[in-house]
Amino acid sequence: MITALRILGVLVLLGIIASGLLFWTSSRDVQIPPASVDFASLSPSEHDRLVERGEWVAHAADCAACHTDPSGGSDLAGGLPMVTPMGAIYGTNITPSRTYGIGEWDADDLYRAVAMGIAPGGRNLYPAMPYPSYHRITREDSDALYLWLMQQPPVDKPNRRNDLIFPFNLRPAVTFWNALFRPDPEPFVARDPQNAQGEYLVDVLGHCGECHTPRNLAYALTDDHLAGNVIEGAYAPDLRADALVRRGWNRDDLSQFLHRGLSPQGVMTFRMFPVLSHSTSHLSFDDLDAISAYLMPQQPETELLARPPAGALSAEGHALYTGLCAGCHGEDGRGQPHSSVRLDVNTTAMFDNPINLVRVIAEGIPERDLAHGERMQAMPAFGDMLSDTEMAELVTYLRKRWGGQSAEVSAAQVADALKQAH
Amino acid sequence: MAERISFSATINGQKIGPMDLPQDLMMVELLQEYLNLTGTRLSCGQGVCSACTIIIDDPDKGSYTVPACVTGVTWVNGRTVRTIEGIAGRDDQGNPVPSPIQMAFLEHFAFQCSYCTPGFVNGATALIERLQRQPIPSDQVEAAVLEALDRHICRCTGYVRYYEAVRDVILSTPGLTTDGPGTDVTAMQEAGQ
């Protein structure tokens, strides 16, 4: 008995020492790259050039995606909830308000927050702030972003407390997460010098992997970079080149999709719609083509054609399609310009996971001003009209007819998808 | 795939069919071209303007509306439907009597050219029937009217008179609100509820 207690005591002691070491390793002051410019002696033209670059960084890094004020008025005043399995995290005020925003920060503070997830005073940010992606931001871009942020109108709006469950509400505990999963700040050096811009936009500023890369049990990104992931109740699809080719993408359509929010393969939906409005629609075609070329190193030569059905189509599914969908999307699934998307080459029916297809049909999509004059009318919600069995019939039909997916979707899968969504 | 279907339904209380119809026929065309029920108005043809709104009476869920322009006969097959021609009641002599919503629209001068009116009548009627099943507090009525009729587009009179007419019917009809008239069962029976 005493021996067992002694062993237990030693184990507890070792655990405490290990935790302490982990905490110390992670919280020690990491050397950061020095400021890229002397802010005090900037010429007006240099200042203006940096502010312009900073605006580009803010768009490319999509700061507004999380920091926008959902009640309107400011893209940076915070308050938007991000729903995670651990609870809701609210975007913070990053306007230069001295009371509630980052008005007291200097450029080093911003770099530490963006690249390392550490706010002034050593306070941990939660990794909802995508510092595991931003850790490769260049100091030049962080400094340009700093100058641009400080030029924005300050909004004196207090931050909202996060609604996280225990123990995730213990902010200092993020230090352990950082020790295990946070890469050290490492200013960008292209892994593929052929397309440095595409890599920087996709992997660093655009932080595409934060949604499109699967996460482990600790909610950290895995090594399956851009392999697709269900996040916030929707499937962020596999963006690896072979998967994109399989779903009928080519570089031109991908660039158009990021520019206007629409292409024959689909329309920006769920959390990609704000990404369009805050970020990708503001990028030049040079940037968008770099993104497309990075994601699809080989331009596929195949023509975009509807694939043959992946199995026998049920009469019930066909009747549901004709009765509820064909009026807008057409009996042949060709859709109508600016009002209803094509379904015959739409990628949503091609995903292994049917959650997005089920949700779009059940919840509908509001009418949208997409970007650069492109718009789509509303899609009605059919959730109240269809039983889970009917929804399963319809979803199976769509996936078989145009999605190349032969597997039957069951009513239980439909119920599960709808449950995951809320 | 079958190009044609055998269609049967109950429309405005009358059994229709079995009819041999193209399987991709939309309801508005069935009503206008096959059944001579021309009150349902075709406008946008994309399920957006709500001029062609018709009511489906579901035995389990109660009544709900669909746009007849983009709802195919394959969805309506075997179901019970009301169009604008089936909304008015009849008096003892069999003469048509406007429904409370139709009467309120007349009293409020709610419409001008009337092209959108059948859709408004059906949308408002379905709202009233939903409130019969699930009454709401009277301070939520304006929001409920807005939510239900927001999708109906009118190009001449504006919307205020439609909204006021529907709000007045709801607030004065027993049983539609949890705190308005309607606790008196006799009054409800007299009102034909």
Mean pLDDT of chain A: 92
Q: Which residue has better confidence, B81 or A170?
A: B81
Per DSSP, the three-state class of A275 is helix
Question: What separation, in Å, do the N-terminal and C-terminal C-alpha atoms of chain B show?
Answer: 46
Q: What is the pLDDT at residue A303?
A: 80
Q: Which stretches of chain A sit within 8 Å of chain B by CB?
A: 313, 315, 318-320, 322-324, 326-328, 331, 336, 339-340, 377-378, 380, 384-385
* Binding residue numbers of A for heme c: 63, 66-67, 208, 211-212, 325, 328-329
Interfacial B residues in 119-138 facing A (CB < 8 Å): none
* Contact assignment for B73 to A320 by CB distance below 8 Å: no
Nearest residue of chain B to residue A314 (CA atoms): B1
Rounded CA separation B152/B43 (Å): 11
> What integer pLDDT is reported at residue A393 of this predicted model?
98
Q: Which residue has the tokens 């869920």?
A: B61
User: Measured between beta carbons, which residues in chain B are less than 8 angstroms from residue A377?
Assistant: 46, 48
Question: A259 with A285: CB under 8 angstroms?
Answer: yes
Q: What is the rounded distance in angstroms from the CA atom of residue A37 to the CA atom of residue A408? A: 59
- Does A173 have pLDDT greater than 50? yes
- Structural domains of chain B, with CATH: 4-86 (3.10.20.30), 89-172 (1.10.150.120)
**pLDDT, tens digit, for every residue of A334-371?**
999 889 999 999 999 999 999 999 999 999 999 999 99
Interatomic CA distance for residues B168 and B171, integer angstroms? 5
Confidence of residue A84 (pLDDT cuts 50, 70, 90): confident
Q: Specify the pTM.
A: 0.89
Distance CA(B87)–CA(B37), nearest Å, equals 13
**How far is Cα A269 from Cα A276, in angstroms, rounded to an integer?**
9
Quote the pLDDT of residue A288.
98
Which segments within A96-237 are labelled E, that is strand? 118-119, 123-124, 163-164, 229-231, 234-236
Question: Is pLDDT of B79 > 80?
Answer: yes
pLDDT per position as a tens digit, A99-117: 999 999 999 999 999 999 9
Say whether B188 sits in a helix, a strand or coil.
helix
pLDDT given for residue B193 in this prediction = 46
A141 vs B188, more confident: A141
Put simply, the answer to whether B46 touches A377 (Cβ < 8 Å) is: yes
Residue range B16-28, pLDDT digits in tens: 989 999 999 999 9
pLDDT at residue A19, rounded to an integer: 60
Give per-residue pLDDT as tens, A379-405.
999 999 999 999 999 999 999 999 999
CB contact under 8 A, B77 and A339: no
- Residue B78 DSSP code: T
Strand partners, B113: none
Give the CA diameter of chain B.
56
Residues 63-122 of B with CB under 8 A from A: 64, 66-67, 69-77
- Residues B116-170: tens digit of each pLDDT: 999 999 999 999 999 999 999 999 999 999 999 999 999 887 789 999 999 999 9
In 3D, which of A163, A18, A189 has the Cα closest to residue A82?
Answer: A163
Indicate the residue of B1, B5, B48 with minimum beta-carbon distance to A377.
B48
pLDDT in tens, B4-16: 999 999 999 999 9
- In the structure, what pLDDT confidence band is assigned to residue A12 with cuts at 50, 70 and 90? low
Q: Cβ contacts (< 8 Å) between A382 and chain B: which residues? A: none
Helix or strand (DSSP H, E) at A243: helix A241-246
B29 neighbourhood in chain A, CB within 8 Å: none
On whether any CB of chain A is under 8 Å from the CB of B181, the answer is no
Average pLDDT of span B90-103: 94
Closest approach of chain B CAs to the CA of A400, in angstroms? Answer: 14
pLDDT at B180: 78
- What is the ipTM score, two decimals? 0.89
When pLDDT is averaged across residues A214-243 and rounded to a whole number, the result is 95
pLDDT at residue A14, rounded to an integer:
60
Sheet of strand B80-82: strand arrangement: B14-22, B4-11, B80-82, B53-58, B62-67
Does the structure show a pLDDT above 90 at A41? yes
* Cα–Cα dist A53/A194, whole Å: 22
pLDDT of residue A47: 96
Helices B160-172, B117-133: inter-axial angle, 10-degree rounding: 30
pLDDT value, residue A11? 64
The sign of the dihedral angle between the CA atoms of B26, B32, B38, B43 is positive
Given pLDDT bands bounded at 50, 70 and 90, which one contains residue A30? confident
Judge whether residue B183 has pLDDT over 60. no
Task: Give the pLDDT confidence score for residue A172 in this predicted structure.
Answer: 87
